[in-house]
A and B are shown apart, each in its own frame.
Chain A
Amino acid sequence: MGLDYKFVLWNQYKKKYDMIIAGFMIIFLFLFSGITLIVNRETTIETLVIRGFGILAMVLLHIILVIGPLSRLQPKFLPILYNRRHLGVSMFLAALVHGGFSIFQFHTLGDTFPIYSVFTSNLDYFSLLNFPFQVLGFFALLILFTMAATSHDFFLANLSAVTWKLLHMLVYVAYVLILLHVFLGAFQQETSLLTISILGLGFVLVAVLQLLSARKELRTNKIESVDSEGWFRVCEVDEIEDNRAKIFIVNHEDVAIFKYENKLSAIHNVCKHQGGPLGEGKIIDGCITCPWHGYQYLPENGQSPPPYTEKVATYDLKLVGSTVFIDPNGHAEGTEVEPLIISK
C-alpha cells in the first residue's frame, strides 16, 4: 500500500522477482541466438533480434496469462501474481524490440511513411492466406503499450479500478491478435510442426487453466434459503475458519464473511486496488488483508486504516443459533457495522 506515487516501490520480493524475469529473458536470448549463430551462420543480426525478441514476448505473454488462473486454482502461486505488472512491462519491451526492428527493417528508408506502409504495403485484407499479418501485430503492440504505460497505481487510482481492469482485460484481445499474427505470418513461411505444436500447446494450457479457474469461480457458495425478514441464510458459523472468510453471492454481488476474535463481519469481496478477492485474504493485525497485494480494510467498516482512503461496502449479519444470516441490502462503502459477536 502506498500514499504517494513512486516509479517503483521496491522491496526484496520485487527485486527477486525481477531478477528471475531477467534470468528467463537472458537464458532464452542467449540460447536462441547462440544456437542460431552456430547452426545457421548466415543469419543477420536484424533477423536474430526480430525472431529472438518476438518468440520471447510470446513466451512471457503465456506466463502472464497462466499466472492469473493458476493462482486462483492454487493460492500458493499468489506471490507470482503480486508483481505480474513487471512481467507485463518486460513482455511489452520484448514485443517493442520485435515490432520496432520489424518496422525499421521492412518499412523504413522507402517511399512512404513507415507506419502508413505497415497498413498499405499489403492490401490483401480479404484474403486469409495473404492477410497483412503485420497489421495484427501492430494493433497488439498498441494494446500492450497502453497496458504497460498504465501499469502503475497512479493510473489505477485515476482511471478507477473498473476502467483500469477493463483496459487490462484487453490483454486477451492482444493475445488473439498475436496468435493470428504468428499463424498468418511467420508460420506460413517457417512451417515447422514442432514450433506450431508448441504454440498450440501454449494456447491449450492458457484456455484450460482459464476454464478451470472460471469453473471454480462459478462454484462460489450459493445462498440456500431466505428467512421471513428477507435475510439470506449463508452457512453455519463453524464453516468459517478463524481469521479467514467464506465468499457468497448476495444480490449478484460477491460478499466475504470473515470470522475473527470470536466475531463476524461482512464486506464486499472486491478489493478497490485491483479487484482482488478479499474473501480469499486473511485477517492480519486486525485488518482484512487482500491476497493479491496486501491492501487492508477494517472488518467493522470496510475502510482502509488511516491514512489510506479505500472503502468497500459492508453488510449486516445475524446469528440464529449457529446459523449465519446476511441482510442482502448492503450499506454504503465504509459504513460502520457492529461486528456480530459469536456466543460461546
Chain B
Amino acid sequence: MDANEVIVSIQDVSKAFGKQEVLNNISLNVYKGEIFGLLGPSGAGKTTLVKMLTGFDLPNRGENYLFQEKMPSLKLIEKIGYMAQSDALYGELTAKENLEFFGALFGLNGKALQSRIGKVMDVVELSDHLNKTVHHYSGGMKRRLSLAIALLHEPALLILDEPTVGIDPVLRKSIWNAFYNLNEKGTSIIVTTHVMGEAEKCHRLAMLRDGRLIAVGTPEQLKAETSSSSIEEAFLAYGGAKA
C-alpha cells in the first residue's frame, strides 16, 4: 500500500434528494493499491456515494477527486471499472458478444480485445462458458460475467457496488480471491457491502450510517479502538456513540 498516493479524495461531500438528506459532509481518502470497503446497512448512502465517484451524480456540496482530477469527467471514466448492483447484461447475447460489445465501447478491438476477453474470463473462472447465451447463465455466473466486463479495460480503479450480494459462500470466496489477485497486480478496489464479515477482508474500511461517516480505519484498528471482537460489535459501538 502506497500511503502517499491518494487516488480518490472525497471532500466535504453532501447530497440530498429533495428534502431527504442522503450524505452528510463526508470526507475520505482512498490510497493507491488498497482494497477499501464502504460498510453500512442498506439506506446508509453507499450507492449514492459510489454513483458520485463514477460520475452519474453530482454532490450538492463538496467535491470528488479521482486521480487528482475533479469528477465528473469523461476522461476519468475510462480509468474506472464499475460494477453496479444489477448484473446489467444482455440476456439474448452470448457472454462473448456481451464482452465484445462493452470492450468496443472502451476502444478495444481485434486481437487485444480477444486476449483481454480470455484473461478476464479466466479471472472469473467462466472460460468454459464463453459462447453460452447469458440467458442460460445461473445467478452467480451472471455476477461473475458482470465483474469480468468491469475488468475488461484494465481499469486502475475498480468500484464494486455490493459485488457478492446473494452469492453462496463458495462463490463469494472465489470472487474475493479474484479481487486479491487483481489487487496484487496493482488495481485499487472500492467495494460496498452491508455484510459485516465481508468487511474484514478489506484493507481499510469506512463505516457509514444514515449518511454520516462514523469511522475509518483498518479492521484491526476499528476493533481495537472499540475493544470489540468483531466488526459488527465495532459498528454498533461507533453507531451507538453517535446516536
Is chain B a partner of chain A in the same complex? no
